[in-house]
Chain A
Amino acid sequence: MFRLFLLHLRNILGDQAILIFCLLVPLGYPLLYSFIYTGEVVREVPVAVVDDCRSAESRDFVRRVDATADVVVTAYCADMAEAEELVRKQLVCGIVAIPKKFSHQLARGEQVAVEVYADMAGMLYYKAVMTGCTNVSLAMGAEMKVQRAGGTTKQQDDVAKAPIVYEEVSLFNPQVGFAAFLIPAVLMLIIQQTFILGVGIGVGTARERGLYRRYTPLANSFTGLFGSVAARCMAFLVLYIPVSVYVTGIVPYFFDLPQLVRPLDLAVLLAPFLLACFGFANCLGVFVRHREYVIPLIVFTSVPMLFISGISWPGSAVPEVWKWVSRLFPSTFGVQGFIALNNMGASLSDIRPQLLALSAQAIVYFLCAMGVERWLIVRSKRSAHD
């Protein structure tokens, strides 16, 4: 078995394609992704203003909107047609339209509505424009309430503003950033996908070159098959243990992402995750007739797997059918477990369901991998006889 292990290790290290996917990609991709999302939040979304009122109050409103971090007023338009033209050229992401009777109605103590149009090209534009304008309307409204209530003491003024105040706490991702939300999930997915690609290329190469014929003596006993799969597993783990430590431990540190996990807990999660990934990848060997086959087969699955893992799209809203499908993939539980440990500082007992699922996957997929191994060996023997 040790000889087999060395053989696999030599094959891996001597194969440029495997090295690209198992070293270069996991080393480089996380850096690239973190670089893309490192801005975390969208600030200063450009909007156009159509001020039909042109009063001190309306100018005050616009000035305050401009002063928010979310929005910047880049254009003052004479009418809606002019503002729409700017939306068409995608120069602004929203329009703030103040009605003619703005100050008139305010003076009469009537409620007045500001019309805000947001480009739905992206949810973050909508969010920024809405947050900016709502905050200003509430702040100005509170001042007016105080004025109209005509209280005498500060306490009366405060009650007039809001008899019950509220505070909002954004847990585990205080700046509500995009990188802190997406990157941890992507990191686990990168480990799984590159692992599958690497193992797949390895299996494909062995099939292409008829290497499975050499293992014929192993095919007839449980221990022989076990040894054969375990040797390959160990050879890949030599590569993947440092890679996964880098991806999950060092990358978040580089980019100041949340990192609340204790190293030992992370190891407890990674162990079954890596084994499950390996077994899963080996089972796909059935489909991989040639070494490059696995690339078009696997690369695209990253996107559906990210969505099905319950991060981008809330897990509670995933339809039941897809929930069942998601349980097939190590990434689903790996991502959930990693986010809980890394982002939310959960303890191992909090992620027990995920750990159990990963362990079950690891065992089942390993046994399946042995079956696949046997099938490949028998098949190669038959084709050799032909």
Chain B
Amino acid sequence: MPILTIFGREMRRILRQPVYLFAMVVAPLFCCLFFTTLMGEGLPEKLPAGVVDEDATATSRNVRKNLDAFQMVNITRNYANVTEARQAMQRGEIYGFYLLPRGMENEANRQRIPTVSFYTNSSFLVAGSLLYRDMRTMSELASGAATRSVLYAKGATERQAMAYLQPIVVDMHPLGNAQLNYNVYLTNLLVPGVLGLFVFMMTVYSFGTELKFGTGRQLMRRAEGSAMAAVYGKLFAQFGVFVLTGTVVVLWLYGVLHFPHAGGMLRLWGLMVLFVLACQGLGLTFFTLLPTLRLGLSTASLWGVISFSICGMSFPVMAMHPTLQGLAWLFPLRHYYVLYVATALHGFPLLSLPWNVAVLFVFALLPLLCLRRLAGVMQHGRYEP
């Protein structure tokens, strides 16, 4: 069977050239370990923040103390004025500060409605937003505390007081990621994204180097002239290694770290396998259309790197330009993301979104269209530096 000969030949290539093992196993698994340990906290806690306490009264000190007790906030310093605090922010020492103006307590007691302010650094979106949330809650509480003391004095019970202070409350239920864990939210897609990038690149690389080192003809000879055997023999060997890496990733994320997988681990594994196949198909298409190593690899890295942005994991696709919303369909990671949400977070079967599955299958079948042209390239193509 020529396909087995090619399979064996490709396996030897993978084992002999360090770049293959690096790109197919070491680097993706390193990224997996990197992201899961980097964001091991899940939600960044104790973000450094400052206080500008111009009031210096019991009330203002109380606000400071309470603010410091919040999960996200760590009051690292008092600043004498807003300018000093702003400069600390520019130096990157704090992500935000809270201003308690002179005469705050006095005005509050006299019902003159003082204004407190808080400043968050939105250049750091995550840190800024998290601080914003806690500082806003603190401000609501400070306002409520002032009213509550009046209500208690009038003889209201705690329940009555709370109902008066906040007639309507919003009970938030984050679906599928109850702790707002950033590790879950990002790593689940960053790691497949890196893997997909490597699948693109190594598919191109493995065919491109046949030309570079002048082994294309030998490949076709060993395949007994069968394009099918030559292409699929190589692809299957790489598929095996990539799926092995993908399996370790799935086991690590869902088996060891217990990231949400409402739909079961097997479905996510199946999704990973389909994703690898789709990326291989697309990678091979890049090389068939641009059969030089340099152009093929450039396209592969472009596609792989853009995937992270256009898949919509961090910035939603629906907020992008309509052109990009259409383009997103051409990126396997986009479909991986949509299907991952459906199965891991919502617990539905993959086929609940049949179109996305279908597109991944189409990508996976693309090599069939490339066979003839690719065989020609292997026979007669020349390496261009």
Contact = CB atoms under 8 A, between A and B. Distances in A.
A120 B176 contact: yes
B169 to A, nearest CB: 5
B231 interface: no
Interface string A151-190: 0000100111011111111111110111011100000000
Contact of A169 (B40, B119, B147, B164): B119
B113 A158 contact: yes
Contacts of A296: 19, 22-23, 198, 201-202, 205, 297
Contact of B341 (A115, A121, A293): A121
Interface residues of A, number: 113
Contacts of A167: 115-117
B27 interface: yes
Contacts of A113: 168-171
Contacts of A297: 19, 22-23
A340 B185 contact: no
A219 interface: no
B244 to A, nearest CB: 18
B104 A164 contact: yes
Given A166-B115, A168-B117, A304 B31 contact: yes
A33 B313 contact: no
Contact of B385 (A17, A39, A123, A304): A17
B123 A295 contact: no
Nearest to A139: B168
Q: Say what secondary structure dominates the interface of chain B.
A: helix
Interface in B31-46: 31, 34-35, 37-41, 44-46
Interface in A4-28: 15-17, 20-21, 25
A359 interface: no
Contacts of B348: 88
Contacts of B46: 316
Nearest to A158: B113
Interface stretch (B1-9, B124-132, B233-241, B269-277): B124-132
Given A168-B132, A170-B120, A307-B35, A124 B146 contact: no
B294 A292 contact: yes
A83 B262 CA distance: 19
Interface in B153-201: 159-160, 162-177, 180, 182, 184-185, 190, 193-194, 197-198, 201
B362 interface: no
Contacts of A310: 92, 124
B85 to A, nearest CB: 10
Contacts of A177: 122
B208 A292 contact: yes
A153 B164 CA distance: 20
B92 A340 contact: yes
A127 B126 CA distance: 11
A36 B321 CA distance: 7
B319 A39 contact: yes
Contacts of B342: 88, 90
Q: Say what secondary structure dominates the interface of chain A.
A: helix
A304 B294 contact: no
Contacts of B121: 171-173, 344
Contact of B169 (A33, A112, A127, A317): A112
Contact of A121 (B305, B320, B345, B385): B345
A122 B316 contact: yes
Contacts of A217: none
A123 B342 CA distance: 16
Interface stretch (A130-138, A228-236, A276-284): A130-138
A133 to B, nearest CB: 5
A346 interface: yes
Interface residues of B, number: 119
A256 to B, nearest CB: 15
B173 A118 contact: yes
Given A169-B119, A181-B122, A295-B301, A145 B164 contact: yes
Interface stretch (B137-145, B214-222, B249-257, B364-372): B137-145
A53 interface: no
B314 interface: yes
B91 A303 contact: no
Contacts of B190: 303
B310 interface: yes
Nearest to B34: A304
Interface in A283-335: 290-293, 295-297, 299-300, 302-304, 307-308, 310-319, 321-322
Given A90-B341, A171-B122, A165 B113 contact: yes
A88 B306 contact: no
B174 A61 contact: no
A351 B198 CA distance: 36
B114 interface: yes
A150 interface: no
B207 interface: no
Contact of A318 (B38, B176, B301): B38
Contacts of A174: 122
Contacts of A61: 168
Contact of A336 (B89, B92, B184): B92
B177 A120 contact: yes
B64 to A, nearest CB: 15
B299 to A, nearest CB: 10
A158 B146 CA distance: 13
A133 B169 CA distance: 9
For the complex of A and B, 4 pairs with smallest distance between CB atoms: A317-B44, A173-B122, A166-B139, A120-B177
Interface of A: 15-17, 20-21, 25, 32-33, 35-39, 41-43, 45, 61, 87-90, 106, 109-127, 130, 133-134, 137-138, 140-141, 144-145, 148, 155, 158-160, 162-174, 176-178, 180-182, 205, 258, 290-293, 295-297, 299-300, 302-304, 307-308, 310-319, 321-322, 336, 339-340, 343-347, 350-351
Interface of B: 19, 22-23, 27, 31, 34-35, 37-41, 44-48, 86-87, 89-92, 95, 104, 108, 111, 113-129, 132, 135-136, 139-140, 142-143, 146-147, 159-160, 162-177, 180, 182, 184-185, 190, 193-194, 197-198, 201-202, 205, 208-209, 212, 293-295, 297-298, 301-302, 304-306, 308-310, 312-316, 318-321, 324, 337-338, 341-342, 345-346, 348, 352-353, 385
11 contacts: A111-B166, A114-B171, A117-B175, A138-B166, A141-B166, A162-B143, A171-B119, A182-B125, A295-B201, A317-B41, A351-B91
Given A117-B175, A130-B172, 9 more contacts: A17-B294, A42-B315, A121-B345, A163-B147, A168-B136, A295-B205, A300-B194, A313-B38, A351-B91
